């Protein structure tokens, strides 16, 4: 939860930096940044109240969660208005075409794609499920579209270094082939997640169950990430 709050604070600072001019559009962006920053503070306070309620056995937890919901809703609304109105998402069929038929010994059992949204937020994504050898993997490619500005900020947020290890697994961030990634794995459950941001726009997410991390990473070797990166400017207004 604290990572999401830090992300919103960074988003607000970037928007404020971008809103130094005095045109109506820039003034509106600056106002949205202030509201986004306020929403981030509200989320931080709600998170503290939720933690306190949990320590007290749940007393007041519902109210704290309600506050968090309101703050998150406000943050998303302001971010959507301020960072991505000029971006049209890539056709999900192009994203779907990048999904491999097999990953290692696993075969693709289903796939789907969609473009949609509302309230000025439009995104597209394609995803597939793979099964075989006692394991499964879900692969999803997302184009945030009108929220592409947030994807860029997320890439910056992922520059925060994380390297954590426990008796049962690990979590870390890093850079591979010039792209930021986040990965985590639980050895006992043999489950893990791997996310990479491509072209500071697209998010490629892998969720594996019953497989090891090297097998999960084979999926990236079978996706044409270079081609995906060439789509980073599609739908943007110059």
Which residues of the chain are under the pLDDT cut of 70? 1-44, 46-48, 50-51, 53-86, 117-121, 146-160, 237-238
Taking a C-beta distance cutoff of 8 angstroms, is the pair 135, 106 a contact?
Answer: yes
pLDDT tens digits along 68-91:
555 555 555 555 554 444 578 899
- Paired strand residues for 180: 175
- Choose one of 51, 83, 115: the last residue of a domain: 83
Which pLDDT value is given to residue 24? 56
Would you state the pLDDT for residue 58? 59
Q: How many domains does the chain have?
A: 2
In a domain, 206, yes or no: yes
Say if residue 96 is in the same domain as residue 70: no
**Residues, the chain:** 238
What residues have CB less than 8 Å from 18, skipping those under 6 apart? 26, 29, 33
In this structure, what DSSP letter does residue 206 have?
Answer: E
**Helix H or strand E encompassing 156:** helix 148-157
Determine the pLDDT at residue 184.
Answer: 93
The answer to whether residue 237 is domain-embedded is no
Please name which of 213, 226, 223, 209 lies closest in space to residue 129, comparing C-alpha atoms: 209
22 found inside a domain? yes
Give the integer Cα–Cα distance in Å for 232 and 234. 6
- Asked whether residue 144 falls in the same domain as residue 198, the answer is yes
Range of the domain at 206: 92-230
Judge whether 176 lies within some domain: yes
> Is residue 130 located within the same domain as residue 226?
yes
Cα distances (angstroms) measured from residue 178 to each of 7, 142, 151, 181: 21, 19, 16, 10
Sequence-distant (6+) residues with CB within 8 A of 202 are 141, 142, 143, 151, 228, 229, 231, 232
Query: Does residue 119 fall inside a structural domain?
Result: yes
Does residue 138 sit in the same domain as residue 217? yes
Residue finishing a domain among 62, 83, 104: 83
């Amino acid at each position: 939860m604290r990572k999401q709050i830090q992300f919103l604070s960074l988003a607000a600072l970037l928007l404020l930096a971008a809103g130094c001019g005095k045109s109506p559009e820039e003034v509106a962006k600056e106002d949205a940044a202030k509201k986004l920053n306020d929403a981030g503070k509200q989320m931080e306070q709600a998170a503290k109240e939720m933690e306190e309620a949990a320590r007290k056995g749940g007393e007041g937890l519902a109210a704290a969660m309600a506050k968090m919901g309101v703050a998150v809703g406000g943050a998303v609304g302001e971010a959507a208005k301020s960072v991505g109105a000029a971006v049209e998402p890539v056709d999900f069929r192009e994203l779907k075409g990048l999904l491999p038929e097999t990953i290692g010994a696993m075969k693709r059992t289903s796939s789907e794609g969609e473009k949609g949204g509302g309230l000025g937020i439009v995104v597209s994504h394609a995803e597939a499920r793979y099964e075989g050898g006692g394991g499964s993997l879900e692969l999803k490619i997302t184009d945030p579209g009108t929220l592409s500005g947030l994807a860029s900020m997320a890439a910056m947020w992922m520059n925060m270094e994380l390297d954590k290890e426990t008796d049962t697994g690990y979590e870390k961030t890093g850079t591979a082939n010039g792209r930021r990634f986040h990965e985590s794995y639980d050895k006992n459950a043999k489950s893990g997640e791997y996310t990479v941001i491509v072209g500071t726009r697209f998010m490629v997410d892998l969720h594996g169950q019953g497989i090891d991390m090297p097998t999960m990473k084979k999926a990236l070797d079978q996706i044409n990430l270079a081609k995906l990166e060439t789509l980073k400017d599609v739908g943007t207004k110059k």
